[in-house]
Amino acid sequence: MLRPLGKRVIIKRLEAEEKTASGIVLPSQAKEKPQMAEVIAVSNEVEDIKVGDKVVFKKYVGTDIKVEGDEVTICEIADILAIVE
Amino acid sequence: MLRPLGKRVIIKRLEAEEKTASGIVLPSQAKEKPQMAEVIAVSNEVEDIKVGDKVVFKKYVGTDIKVEGDEVTICEIADILAIVE
Amino acid sequence: MLRPLGKRVIIKRLEAEEKTASGIVLPSQAKEKPQMAEVIAVSNEVEDIKVGDKVVFKKYVGTDIKVEGDEVTICEIADILAIVE
Amino acid sequence: MLRPLGKRVIIKRLEAEEKTASGIVLPSQAKEKPQMAEVIAVSNEVEDIKVGDKVVFKKYVGTDIKVEGDEVTICEIADILAIVE
Amino acid sequence: MLRPLGKRVIIKRLEAEEKTASGIVLPSQAKEKPQMAEVIAVSNEVEDIKVGDKVVFKKYVGTDIKVEGDEVTICEIADILAIVE
Amino acid sequence: MLRPLGKRVIIKRLEAEEKTASGIVLPSQAKEKPQMAEVIAVSNEVEDIKVGDKVVFKKYVGTDIKVEGDEVTICEIADILAIVE
Amino acid sequence: MLRPLGKRVIIKRLEAEEKTASGIVLPSQAKEKPQMAEVIAVSNEVEDIKVGDKVVFKKYVGTDIKVEGDEVTICEIADILAIVE
């Protein structure tokens, strides 16, 4: 597994059906094109977000990488806008 | 529901009749095009603003998103100019 | 009424006769085009300026808004240059 | 009178004869075009400069204003280079 | 050997077979073109990363240098995204 | 005399013979065109440099001024590179 | 001699034979063109680097100067990448 460093988390984009279940619609034509994802790893320096959290983040941020078949994104917590509760 | 992270709040634009009742007129031709909205969620890091507050904010800021049918905006508190009291 | 947030105040431009009485002349051709105004609301975070103060501020700053018929400006205290005493 | 806010002072440019008496010559062709002035008001936040000090400051800074017939300049203390002693 | 100064580490890119064994695939067409490397030296100011750690870092950062035949890179820890565990 | 304010000193360029005696040669074609000068006044906020110090500074910095016939320069201490000992 | 001020050191580039002996090869075509040098003076504010240290630094930084026949460079410690041990 990967452990992010600094103020970073690793997230995995949600599938369409998971997004629908959340009741949240992310407008595709929006300026910042937000996306939904699940947090799969957090750095020691991150306090407000934990593994398993579903989050909304800005689309064009972070570094994409493939870990054991899963496409994930390493991104700064400043780019995570909100947690779905 | 969504819980905003960092120095952010989630707001919902006010309807025309609510704006009229407030006695506040937001000039459409102004440089920063201010808007009125109601706060529907605040981050743990936000102190001066609470859910239910009616606020004036700069129009072209934040990330628009739809939550259970409601169009809302996730924005930085630095872009909230004032509270309507 | 409006309560400004952050390091902001709400001011209302002075009428011509009030400006004349102050003995202060603001040159219209100056680089920063200063203006005179009366402070009508201050944020909790503002210490040096209080409601009723007459101030000189930089013209092209802040957000214009109309509150119960009055045209006012929400602006950062860093743009208030001086208090008329 | 005007009381400057923030890290600001109000200064009044010196007449030619006062400058000559100081023994200081300010080259008109210099990059920063320094000027001499007398301090006529200081903000509460200013410590090193007091009313009556004669100072050298950068020419193209600050906001010009006329107070009871006197042309004065409100400027940041960071733009005051030195005190004439 | 080289001891990095400031918030820096020295890393050595991993061979293809080592990368394959990690189960991590770094997409060559990604915006930030992440790379995998092993940490071979750390500055006294670095706390979260130690010699021997396998890390993911942004490709076009740091200073390449050859030490006793090995090609290594001196880079800022802010450019190390994650540790492979 | 002039007393500099802030993190500033007043310096006077050295004559050719004084520079030669120091054993230091300042290359005229260098990027930053360093110059040698003697410190003639320091601000209260300056600790590492004292009056009489001979220093090397970056050529195109500071404000030139003439004090009682002497051409001097008011400059920021960040632009003083080294002291000649 | 010269004593550097601020976060600066004075360094002298190493001769070819000294570089070869170190086992370090600095690629001439690299982006940041690193160079090797010996530290000959340090400011009081510098802690991690001492006189005599051999260091790797970014080529195009600092101010070149000639001291008693030696060509040296005054540079910021942030531009010193590593110490050769």
Q: Does C16 touch chain D (CB under 8 A)?
A: no
Q: How far is CA F71 from CA A20, B63, C37, F14, in A?
A: 75, 57, 45, 11
Cβ C34 vs Cβ C14: under 8 Å: no
Domain count, chain C: 1
C touches G, CB cut-off 8 Å, minimum 3 pairs: no
**Residue pointed to by tokens 């903000």:** D43
**Per the CB < 8 Å rule, is B5 touching A80?**
yes
Range of the domain at E41: 8-84
Contact B/F (≥3 CB pairs under 8 Å): no
Chain C residues in contact with B82 by the CB 8 A cut-off are: 2-5, 8, 10, 41, 74
Distance of CA B56 to the CA centre of its chain: 7
Per the domain annotation, does D16 fall within a domain?
yes
Give the pLDDT score at C34.
82
Q: Given an 8 Å threshold on Cβ–Cβ distance, is D5 in contact with C49?
A: yes
Three-class DSSP category at E38: strand
Tell whether D3 is covered by a domain: no
Rounded CA-CA distance E66/E20 in Å is: 25
pLDDT digits (tens, 9 = 90+) for A7-63: 999 999 998 778 777 888 877 665 557 889 999 999 999 999 999 999 999 877 888
**What separation in angstroms does the CA of E53 have from each of A64, A68, A75, E39, E65?**
21, 19, 20, 5, 20
DSSP characters for D30-69? SSS-EEEEEEEEE-TT--S--TT-EEEEETT-SEEEEETT
F58 assigned to some structural domain: yes
Query: pLDDT per residue over E51-72, tens digit each?
Result: 999 999 987 778 889 888 889 9
Rounded to two decimals, the ipTM of the complex is: 0.82
pLDDT tops 90 at residue B72: yes
Q: Residue E29 above 80 pLDDT?
A: no
Mean pLDDT of G35-64: 92
In a domain, C3, yes or no: no
- The CA distance from E46 to A2, in Å, is 19
Cβ–Cβ below 8 Å for E63 and G49: no
Sorted by sequence, the CB contacts under 8 Å of residue B82 that are 6+ apart come out as B55, B56, C2, C3, C4, C5, C8, C10, C41, C74
Q: What percent of chain E has a predicted confidence (pLDDT) above 90? A: 55
Across the strands, what pairs with D76? D8
Do the domain assignments include residue E3? no
What pLDDT was estimated at residue C9?
Answer: 97
Separation CA D45–CA D23 (nearest Å): 31
Angle value at C-alpha E21, between E20 and E26, nearest 5 degrees:
35
Residue at F78 is within a domain = yes
Shortest alpha-carbon distance between residue E5 and chain A (Å)? 19
CATH of the domain at G70: 2.30.33.40
In chain C, % of residues over pLDDT 90 = 55
Which residues contact residue F1 at a Cβ distance below 8 angstroms, ignoring those fewer than 6 apart? D84, D85, F41, F67
- List CB contacts (< 8 A) between E81 and chain A: 4-5, 8, 63, 74
Q: Residue C28 has what pLDDT?
A: 65
Which chains have 3+ CB pairs within 8 A of F? D, G
pLDDT at F73: 93
Would you say residue E1 lies in a domain?
Answer: no
Helices (H), chain E: 16-21
The minimal CB distance from B81 to the residues C5, C44, C68 is found for: C5
Measured between beta carbons, the chain B residues lying within 8 angstroms of C64 are 27, 30-31
Whether B2 sits inside 8 A of A82 (CB atoms) is yes
Q: Measured between alpha carbons, how far is E11 from E53 in angstroms, rounded to an integer?
A: 9
The C-alpha angle B83, C4, C5, rounded to 5 degrees, equals: 85
Three-state DSSP string of B10-74: EEEECCHHHHHHHCEECCCCCCCCEEEEEEEEECCCCCCCCCCCEEEEECCCCEEEEECCEEEEE
Sheet holding F34-42, edge to edge: D24-25, F63-67, F70-76, F8-13, F34-42, F54-58, F80-84, G2-4
Give the type of residue at D4: P
Contact between chain C and chain B (3 or more Cβ pairs less than 8 Å apart):
yes
Q: Is the pLDDT of residue E30 over 60?
A: no
CB contacts, 8 Å: E4 with chain G: 81-82
What value does the CA radius of gyration of chain D take, rounded to a whole number of Å? 12
Low-confidence residues of chain D, pLDDT below 70? 28-32
Average pLDDT over residues F32-36: 78
Say whether pLDDT at B37 is over 70.
Answer: yes
Q: Cβ of D4 under 8 Å from any chain C Cβ? A: yes
Q: At B77, is the secondary structure helix, strand, or coil?
A: helix
C5 part of contact set with chain B, CB < 8 Å:
yes
Whether residue C28 is contained in a domain is answered as yes
Order of strands, sheet of A63-67, starting from the edge strand that comes earlier in the sequence: B2-4, A80-84, A54-58, A34-42, A8-13, A70-76, A63-67, E24-25
Q: Answer whether residue G31 shows pLDDT above 60.
A: no
Judge whether residue G30 has pLDDT over 60. no
Three-class SS state of A51: coil
Mean of per-residue pLDDT scores for chain B: 88
Q: What is the pLDDT of residues C33-62, one digit of tens each?
A: 788 999 999 999 999 999 999 999 987 778
